[in-house]
Amino acid sequence: MENLTDSIVPRFLRYVQIWTTSDKNNLETPSSEGQWELARLLADELNVLGADSIEISDHCYVLAVIPASSGFEDRPVIGFMAHLDTAQDVSGKNVKPIVEKNENGETIIRSDGTTLLGADNKAGIAEIMGMAEYLLSHPDIKHGRVLIIFTPDEETGKGLPCFPMERINVLAGSGSGDGGQKTLAACYTLDGGPLGELEIECFNAIEAKIQFTGKVIHLGTARGELNNACLMAASFAVMLPRSESPEATDGYFGYYCPIGISGSLESAALEVYIRDFDLDRAKERAAALESFARAVEAQFPGGKVKVEWKFQYYNMKEKIDCHPEVLDKLKEAARRTGVEFFLKPIRGGTDGSRLTELGIPTPNIFSGGRNFHSLGEWISVSEMEAACRLSIELVKIWGE
């Protein structure tokens, strides 16, 4: 297999310069205009490459098909997925990617330190596009039908809103020789970290919104009368155990994380993320928020605290375990391409979490990136190429 960096790297450098930061406070999908720009670019590029059934949904999902080789139409249909948006934790506008050698002589790409890079997840997009280019330009490689899916607003935690499942089923089913297959046999996200990292389990994720209602009176006559909603919210926030925070945990330990606080004397709001690999433990954490709420009301007589929470996504491990061939083929692709793989729990989630919940097992593959969501984000060029090679090999294996 020839050098793939000539396909992957120029694409990646082009994609990261499109401002696609999503906005979790915008209920529309997509939540930012730049995602449309990238979606249209990708659709145009897929058209040039010769992909079939290229479309952009009303909510900015990009779909395309790499047709099956002649005689391989009855093979299982699989998909590859990556997301268009970047996180709003730090700026993703005017990204200036720098290609350089690090202290080990490895070629990396980083931002100039004023923005994130956008490897999460434009590296995955570039790697999938590199795979598509290779397969479409090498008809001698025999394989089944492959779907390409690019999604909006992954970083908002919305969980594939308005996902075009019916179109996915049509595109998958139309390639099956016996007409029996109605959806993908498996899908793979390329949204992971360093070389060899494969992921089949993730957090159960809960988003909690806590509303505080105080009692306002002139500050000059406030003694014994004022209930300060801002102070109520702050009191609640400090009840969240610091030993169970993102910065204090790793591995399989879950956490609470306040991610936003706002308000006035009369009304304040606090948003909290709960993450845990164990579903029952995640529910226990949500129940604990009610205890914190009652404790705050006791501190501020007359003040009111309302807690509302919902699941954002679930741990995908149990459902992937029901389809062992999905991981077995991934491991075999790693072996054949010389990648020393390891399984690691995702301390977060991917769109694959939600797709698995919808019935399509979707493990996550490394993309080569480091320090996601930060000004220090960077990615290894050789590991990007390795992810692309592994994906090509995975397509071959599913076609065997």
Q: Check the CA dihedral 104-369-205-257 and report its sign.
A: positive
Of the residues 120, 127, 154, 385, only one is catalytic, namely 154
DSSP letter assigned to residue 69: P
By DSSP bridging, strand 364-366 and strand 255-263 are unpaired
Q: Strand, helix or coil at 31?
A: coil
- Asked if 324 contacts 381 with a C-beta cutoff of 8 angstroms, the reply is no
Is 154 a known active-site residue?
A: yes
Q: Check the CA dihedral 340-345-348-350 and report its sign.
A: positive
Task: Count how many Cα atoms sit within 13 Å of the Cα of residue 343 in the half-sphere of its side chain.
Answer: 10
Is 74 a known active-site residue?
A: no
- Asked if 120 contacts 191 with a C-beta cutoff of 8 angstroms, the reply is yes
CA 210 vs CA 8, 296, 391: distances in Å: 44, 12, 43
Q: How many CB atoms lie within 10 A of CB 106?
A: 12
- Asked if 344 contacts 306 with a C-beta cutoff of 8 angstroms, the reply is no
Of the residues 85, 133, 385, 393, only one is catalytic, namely 85
- Asked if 187 contacts 77 with a C-beta cutoff of 8 angstroms, the reply is no
- Integer Cα distance of 31 and 52 in angstroms: 27
Where in the sequence numbering do the catalytic residues fall? 85, 154
